[in-house]
Structure 1
Amino acid sequence: MDEQLRTAAENGDIHALYRKLADDPYILDRIDHIPIVDTPLHVASVAGKPHFAMKVANLKPSLAWKLNHMGLSPIHLALQHKCIKMIEDPDLLAEFLSACPSSVEDTTVHCETAVHVAIRNGSIRCFKVLLGWLGRVDKEDVLNWKDEDGNTALHIAVSSGQTEASFDCFL
């Protein structure tokens, strides 16, 4: 990725993003053509810059479901790095999911969905947002998807003693 764009994503500098786009309006398109890549969304997710990430997702929604070399989408990275603003702010998470609804079906290289990752990281508020989203878009079947070890999100919640999440999975 272009170093100026990477720096803008790390710093959450939306003005620098627009300056870069003014200089090179196709930069996001070129990134989108790379099959496996860290996008500005990935970088902003790790850096905890949700407003920058949302701006990029609105400009180029397809980048939201790109996987990096570890098989992780931007939302998975936000969950793993406990970027609270990115993953536990219901409005931001809902906006992210609205910009890229299919990202809720993305899986990591370990066949984990964002729901698996939220439960593994103990992000109950995030889990509840995802659960609500799955219900709204009629994708509750994602809750039954198994990771590479054959565990659903419910299995993980029960085995780690997260009773609140376990109960919600049954509803």
Structure 2
Amino acid sequence: MDQNLKAAAETSNVSQLYELIERDGNVLRRFDEVEFIETPLHIAAEKGCIGFTMEITSLKPSFARKLNQRGLSPMHLAVLKGQHEMALRLLEVDKDLVRVRGKNGETSLHYLCKVESHHHLLDRFMQACPESIRDATVQNRTALHIAVENNRPDVLRVLLRSIGKNDHYQEEVNRQDEDGNTALHIAARNNQSQMLKLLLECKAHKYITNQAGLTALDVAHQSNNRESIIILHHCLIRRVSNFKHSLEKQIVKATVLQSPLSEIDLGLQGKQS
């Protein structure tokens, strides 16, 4: 990259950018000719230079989806470097930038589920692009898997709240990764009681088996995670109890409907006659 152009991006010098364009009208075209390359937008996004970023995205919208040699887009870099205002401005340019897949198939939402962040940014991501909850890495892991793996109950709570607002995404709670593990399996393995409860409240299925044929409860037993075992056992017992109660009610109802007239019915008929 031309050093003057790099300096302009690092210092948010829009005037210098246009001086370079006047000198060479193709100064930005060359970046489109290389598949993986660091663009001036990558530099500006990483440095938090909002003015320069807005100018570049206006001139070259394609740069916003470009991956550098490390497999990162400008949105990835904004999230990684804690440039939250920058990330929000990029979101305004194109909400689907949240879904741009980089190295290992990870999106900026996946990165946000790992790094320390303000919940406001995660909320805005989910509001602007709720379908991003479906995006999976090359290991078929979604934001839910990543939040649990990185012990982020705060992030998981935001993600599940977003899922709860839209029935179309409910199945993502039980999404299985390449090993057949759901987020519930991971929480059980890591003995993350708070996350187990959050997932169960959001209708996570307890009987799904991974590729090793294990349920979340089996995984908890295998790891000897007593707290997870207690939580999952309690949930299973409660479900069986509710099922038995419902079944008993159905049997009673069926019995009444199929039985001869009761004494009360006979008494009423006697009075009427």
**Common fold, TM-score beyond 0.5?**
yes
Answer whether contact 2:96 2:129 (CA < 8 A) is retained: no
Q: Distance in 1 between matches of 2:16 and 2:73?
A: 23
Q: Partners in 1 of 2:73 and 2:61 — Cα distance?
A: 12
Aligned to 2:37: 37
The answer to whether 1:143 aligns with 2:137 is no
Aligned to 2:142: 152
Deviations 1:62-100 (A, max 9, x none): 11101001100001011101113312xx4x233332xxx
Q: 1:27 is paired with a residue of what secondary structure?
A: coil
Measured against aligned partners, the alpha-carbon deviations of 1:22-66 in whole angstroms (never above 9, x if no partner) come to 111211111111111000000111111122111101101011101
Given residue 132 of structure 1, which amino acid in structure 2 is its aligned partner? Q
Amino acid at match of 2:124: V
1:105 maps to amino acid: R
The equivalent position to 1:165 in structure 2, one of 158, 163, 172, is 158
Question: Following superposition of structure 1 onto structure 2, how do residues 22-171 of structure 1 map, counting pairs within 5 Å?
Answer: 22-87=22-87, 90=88, 92-97=89-94, 102-123=96-117, 124-135=119-130, 140=131, 142-158=132-148, 159-162=151-154, 163-170=156-163, 171=165
Do 1:65 and 1:102's aligned partners in 2 also have CA atoms closer than 8 Å? Answer: no
Letter in 2 for 1:144: R
User: Runs (4+) of structure 1 moved beyond 4 Å?
Assistant: none
Superposed CA deviations along residues 133-160 of structure 1, whole A, max 9, x for unmatched, are 214xxxx1x3122224442112233442
CA 1:62–1:8 in 2, change beyond 3 Å: closer, same or farther?
same
Task: Tell me how far apart the structure 2 counterparts of residues 128 and 145 of structure 1 sit (CA, whole Å).
Answer: 17
Amino acid at match of 2:52: F
Q: Would you say how many aligned residue pairs link Structure 1 and Structure 2?
A: 160
**Code of the aligned partner of 1:160:** R
3-state DSSP of counterpart to 1:120: coil
Point out the more displaced range, 60-69 or 22-31. 22-31
SS in 1 for 2:82: coil
CA distance in 2, matches of 1:30, 1:118: 31
C-alpha distance in structure 2 between counterparts of 1:94 and 1:78, whole Å: 11
Gaps of 5+ in 1: none
Residues 121 and 149 of structure 1: is their aligned pair in 2 closer, same or farther, counting only changes over 3 Å? same
Identity %: 32
Cα distance in 1, alignment partners of residues 40 and 90 from structure 2: 17
Compare relative contact order (CA 8 Å, sep 6+) and give the higher one, 1 or 2: 1
The structure whose Rg is larger is: 2
